[in-house]
């Protein structure tokens, strides 16, 4: 009975989220902002700046390779934002149910107390994976349509793995945080603030290396920064290899450092493996905190 209730509640929460077209749109607002800014002026500024640097090194040409590199960097930022903002908006079902008294009704229903919070979490993860998969497919189409598809099979599966782990990590963290909210107004404020600043904090608009040292230190403690690092590594690796082979190995190495494909965690280099480990640890930590919070709330209301 509990398994069936979990399935039905998860399905119900997911359907409510997907039917709210405005909510789905706002969940994608941060990735859309990254895309619009890039198309309007950031892309051209980045490409021109990198081409000028190449000319200063005595290297001619490279427009196609640089365009592929910048496109990959932008799409990695879009994916990173989506892995955070979509689960956040999906958490809104929790707030709606609290405001309408539905959560209280579910707690006195003839199912185990863990079913309701588990269904909320499962629906948030499902929403993040479903919409994130669509966004990732659009990114792949963009790269293919640009005429510079440089991703290997390993890169594609790496992107899929990064999507799954990032959505689960964001969901565990956000479900825990949103669990302390009671009003729709407070949640909307959180949504607006996080949706506005998340692109800056994880380096989606500009490389983290361009930030002041104090801001860079803060980004090291934001899980979304490691999500962005993973997507950059998988999406930009092929473009970097082309730049290294066709233009300048030294320039490619400089780009890898400047565009935050690895992090300097107070002297220790954080690569792809370490990024996966950090996200997995954050997911386990907040999963445990969610279980503890659900237990305490059920005990208090029981």
Concatenating the DSSP letter of every residue in 244-301 gives HHHT-HHHHHHHHHHTTSSEEETTEEE-HHHHHHHHHHHHHHHHHHHHHHHHHHHHHH
Q: Which of 74, 71, 82 is nearest to 145 (CA)?
A: 71
Give the rounded percent of residues in the chain with a pLDDT score beyond 90. 41
Mean pLDDT of 116-124: 92
Mean pLDDT of 178-197: 86
Confidence of residue 1 (pLDDT cuts 50, 70, 90): low
Q: For position 193, what pLDDT does the model report? A: 86
Given a contact cutoff of 8 angstroms between Cβ atoms, the answer to whether 132 and 83 are in contact is yes
Tokens 């979304």 found at: 224
298 has a pLDDT exceeding 70: no
Domains of the chain, by residue range, sit at: 2-301
pLDDT digits (tens, 9 = 90+) for 123-182: 999 999 999 999 999 999 998 988 778 899 999 999 999 999 999 999 999 999 998 888
As beta bridge partners, residue 268 has 265
pLDDT digits (tens, 9 = 90+) for 234-277: 999 999 999 999 888 888 888 888 887 888 888 888 899 999 99
Q: Which of 105, 91, 292 is nearest to 178 (CA)?
A: 91
Distance set, CA 77 to CA 35, 93, 217, 266 (Å)? 9, 26, 19, 24
Q: For position 101, what pLDDT does the model report? A: 82
- The more confidently predicted of residues 40 and 6 is 6
226 has a pLDDT exceeding 80: yes
Q: For position 100, what pLDDT does the model report? A: 85
Mean pLDDT of 192-200: 84
Confidence of residue 301 (pLDDT cuts 50, 70, 90): low
Mean pLDDT of 225-233: 93
Mean pLDDT of 284-290: 95
The mean predicted confidence, pLDDT, of the chain is: 88
Q: For position 121, what pLDDT does the model report? A: 95
Q: For position 10, what pLDDT does the model report? A: 93
């Amino acid at each position: 009975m509990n398994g069936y209730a979990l399935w039905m509640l998860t399905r119900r929460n997911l359907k409510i989220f997907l039917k709210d077209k405005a909510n789905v749109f706002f969940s994608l607002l941060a990735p859309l902002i990254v895309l619009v800014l890039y198309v309007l002026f950031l892309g051209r500024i980045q490409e021109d700046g990198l081409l000028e640097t190449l000319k200063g090194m005595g290297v001619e040409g490279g427009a196609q390779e640089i365009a592929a590199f910048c496109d990959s960097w932008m799409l990695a930022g879009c994916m990173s934002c989506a892995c955070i903002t979509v689960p956040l908006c999906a958490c809104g079902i929790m707030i709606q149910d609290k405001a309408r008294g539905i959560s209280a009704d579910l707690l006195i229903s003839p199912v185990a107390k863990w079913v309701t919070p588990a269904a909320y979490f499962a629906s948030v993860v499902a929403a993040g994976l479903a919409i994130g998969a669509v966004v990732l497919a659009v990114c792949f189409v963009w790269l293919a349509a640009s005429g510079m598809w440089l991703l290997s099979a390993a890169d594609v599966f790496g992107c899929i793995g990064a999507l799954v782990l990032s959505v689960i990590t964001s969901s565990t963290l956000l479900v825990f945080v949103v669990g302390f909210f009671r009003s729709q107004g407070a949640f909307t404020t959180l949504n607006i603030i996080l949706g506005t600043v998340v692109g800056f904090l994880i380096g989606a608009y500009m490389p983290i290396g361009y930030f002041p040292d104090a801001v860079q230190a803060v980004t090291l403690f934001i899980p979304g920064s490691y999500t962005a690092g993973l997507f950059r590594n998988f999406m930009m690796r092929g473009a970097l290899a082309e730049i290294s082979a066709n233009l300048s190995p030294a320039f490619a190495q400089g780009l890898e450092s400047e565009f935050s494909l690895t992090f300097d965690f107070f002297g220790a280099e954080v690569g792809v493996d370490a990024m996966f480990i950090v996200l997995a640890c954050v997911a386990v930590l907040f999963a445990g905190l969610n279980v503890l919070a659900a237990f305490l709330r059920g005990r208090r209301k029981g």
